[in-house]
Amino acid sequence: MTAAHGIKHLVLLGLGRAHIQVLRALADSRPADLHLTVIAPRPQALMSPMVPGFVAGHYTLAQCQIPLEGLLERSGAHFVAGSVAVIDAHAQRVTLASGETVAWDWLGINTGPVMDREKIEAAMPGARRHALFVRPLDGFVHLWPQVLAMATDRPIHLALIGAGAAGVELALAAAQALRAPGVAPGSHVSLLTGGAAPAATLPGPMQVRALRALRRLGVTVIPESCTGLEAGAIQLSNGARLVCDAPLLAIGPQAPAWLADSGLALDDDGFIAVNAFQQSTSHPRVFAAGDVASRADAPHTRDALHAHRAGAPLLANLRAAMAGQTLMPHPPPRRVLQFLACGERRAIGGWGGLGFEGGWVWRWKDQIDRAFVARHAA
């Protein structure tokens, strides 16, 4: 697929938060000489900060989803349902798993986090067969009710592998879900940290509160790594065997395998290296934001807030680049408002060196999340 002569063809790969904001702006004002194509598995997005609330039983799945058909139509986008197999940055072409190819003049990449199952299987033999992978989230949220259903007849033991902020949130959410009416008494959750402190990337005051929340909900913290999985058990790095009914893999995000041979400059972990303009350091017609991107000039954590903040400058610089205008740098904020859901209708918040917690923090987070869904689903 190519654009007509004189028409710029912008391809947006993925429907992450930054691209949703780009679509919103283009729906209000799209240049007449722009042909827009959006490629994603489906015309909707899952609000990832709300997934722990879904697991805990506070939201329905529908409340966590953003239907984007209306926004795609208003922006004049041609939507292609599919997933990437190959990117050729030099030829400016994407090949989808279906075999379809899409050429671009300009490319935006804002795909969600992935888990490289081959690498994980090499490090944890048996993972592909016996573990429930948390990513992609779209798959996990449809399997979670089946996990919870096991606890209606008998107590179950869930084990979360991975103690980053996402793993801690899911452990707390699962512990809360196992307290719900209709769940067999005696079910519990363990958290395997691999020796690191739980939620180690969060500021100290938030870490302290997260540890208290884990104790409050009865989550057992095990400072060991998973070295392998088998039916009904996890092999630990100390040689012990942890019996569990459902091992959930919640390790940090990994780069999509299709980036390796894309020709794009990548960081040491395989993510797209971008500059202060969210622009590829090797291919100026490629821009990226969110989990798939790595700021070479100002490294920061991969989280929803940084992805959200990148949306407006990504749009501005895409527009400027296509018009031959000067790009504007986007310095990541020195401080960001952070939240960690605690399973109950409570949350931990952080701002710089400050930490705070309570039901009011949950309501604040809930209001922000619901407002984003409502604004872009309308």
The Cα–Cα gap between 107 and 171 comes to: 37
User: Which residue among 273, 305, 322 closes a domain?
Assistant: 322
Check whether residue 178 and residue 92 sit in a common domain.
Answer: no
Spatial distance between the Cα atoms of 281 and 271, rounded to a whole number of angstroms: 12
DSSP SS3 for 189: strand
Whether 176 contacts 362, CB under 8 Å: no
* Res 198: pLDDT: 93
Same domain, 128 and 152: yes
For residue 128, give the H/E element and its range: helix 127-130
Assess whether 171 and 203 both reside in one domain: yes
Contact residues for 82 (Cβ-Cβ < 8 A; gap 6+): 39, 40, 41, 96, 97, 98, 100
CA distance 235 to 53: 30
Distance CA(322)–CA(314), nearest Å, equals 12
Whether residue 354 is contained in a domain is answered as no
- Please give the average pLDDT of every successive group of 10 residues along the chain, which has 378 residues: 69 94 90 92 94 97 95 95 96 96 96 88 95 92 95 95 94 96 94 92 92 97 96 96 96 90 95 94 95 81 65 88 91 84 95 92 96 86
Say how many domains are in the chain. 2
CATH number at residue 154: 3.50.50.60
Q: Mark whether 306 and 235 lie in a shared domain.
A: no
Task: Report strand pairing: 84-88 vs 65-67.
Answer: unpaired
Residue 344 lies in a domain: no
**Residue 282 tokens, joined:** 């090797």
- What's the token pair of residue 115? 């888990």
| pLDDT score, position 79 | 97
Q: List, as one string, the DSSP characters of 350-372.
A: EETTEEEEEHHHHHHHHHHHHHH
Residues 19, 89, single domain; the answer is yes
Strand order in the sheet with 93-96: 84-88, 93-96, 101-103
Provide the domain limits for residue 234: 117-252
149 and 208 co-located in one domain: yes
Nearest to 249 by CA among 163, 341, 151, 141: 163
Specify if 312 maps to a domain: yes
Q: 96 and 148 in one domain?
A: no
> What is the reported pLDDT for 299?
67
pLDDT of res. 3: 52
The pTM of this model reads 0.91
Give residues with Cβ within 8 angstroms of 347, minimum separation 6: 339, 340, 341, 357, 358, 361, 362, 364, 365
Same domain, 263 and 212: no
Which residues face 236 on adjacent strands? 226
201 with 155, same domain: the answer is: yes
Same structural domain for residues 104 and 202?
no
Backbone angles phi, psi at 107, to 5 degrees: -130, 135
Select from 252, 281, 297 the last residue of a domain: 252
Place of tokens 């307290």: 179
Other beta carbons within 10 Å of 33? 12
Q: Quick check: is 190 in a domain? A: yes
